[in-house]
Each structure stands twice: as C-alpha cells, then as structure tokens.
Amino acid sequence: MKIFMVRHGETDWNVAKRIQGQEADEPLNATGRKQAEERAEAMSGMTFDVMFSSPLKRASETAEIIAERLNLQILYRDELKERSFGLLSGKTFEEVNASIGTDWNQLTSEKDAEYLRLYKREPTEDFKRRLLAFTEEVKRDHADKQVLVIAHGGLIRLAHLLFRETHVAHIENVAIEEFEI
C-alpha cells in the first residue's frame, strides 16, 4: 500500500534552527500557513481514502489546511508526533553541539547512550517502534487505500530509513514523500 507523508509548514523555531521535538508545540508562522495552502493546491488532483496527522500544532494546522482543500477528515495519532528531544527542545543545533562536545548527528552508540540519559531524548528504538506500530495498523485497517499522513521531519526521515533503506539528512517544510509499505 502507499502512504504519502507531508512535513508540516514552517514555524518560527524552524527559522531559528531550534529543536522542536514533542515538547515544543509551536504553531505555523505566516510562511508556514502559505506553504500549507500551496501544498494543498498542488495536491488538489490527488485522491486519498484516509488522512492522519500528528496532533502537534504545526502538523495539525498544516493538516487542517490540506484537509479542507481535499475534503478529508483528519484522524489524529500520537504515534505521528516528532521524536522527543527532552531537555534539548528549544535549543539551537549549535547550542546542543557545544553542550555535548560533538556533532549530535555523529554520536557513537556509547556516547549516544550517555546523551539519551543526560538530556532525556527518546531512544531511537522507541521512536522506531511508534512508527512501525502505526504503519502495521494502517496496513491492517486500510489495505489497498491511499493514505495521507501529516507529520514531522524526523518521522519522515525515519520512514526513509525503514521503508527505503536510505538516509535523508533533511526534509523541507511541506515536502511530500511517497512510501510503499
């Protein structure tokens, strides 16, 4: 089955390069609302049977704009929330790298375990389990349907790893990605 995933529109924290995670529930800014409207317009010829969204404001606002255009009902799911970054939420990437003494994207598993403990970041395996549980349920309940998901960059990057076995460094705001699961 196909799942189409759209990243939420821009927030002020995206512009400031601040880590949002689950802890920050930032709304879309004016650019983000415009991006969502443009994405909705670009998708107007597409047909979906079911639409899911993260309940966090930036995703739910994006979903509401798209759902209105596509005449879809939104089903909110906690499994679609961004990864929890614990005490690092709200910090810039530069601040995080300075506090841990290395590039957080280059952490070794030993160093990563320390980082998880100190900053209370959601473990990768828990994040992975959330997404896989959601996709298994969707496959079971919505087989042979076109599924639309509004979510977050981290979750969509994880989907690339799980379903395409590719590493993607960044997902642009309102980018749409198609996955066969």
Catalytic residues: 8, 82
Tokens of 156: 């969509």
Of the CA atoms within 13 Å of residue 21, those in its CB half-sphere come to 20
> Phi-psi region for residue 5, left (φ > 0), alpha (ψ -120 to 50) or beta?
beta
- Non-local CB neighbours of 36 within 8 Å, separated by 6+ positions: 8, 9, 28, 61, 62, 65, 66, 174
CA separation (Å) from 115 to 24, 58, 68, 81, 119? 19, 27, 41, 21, 6
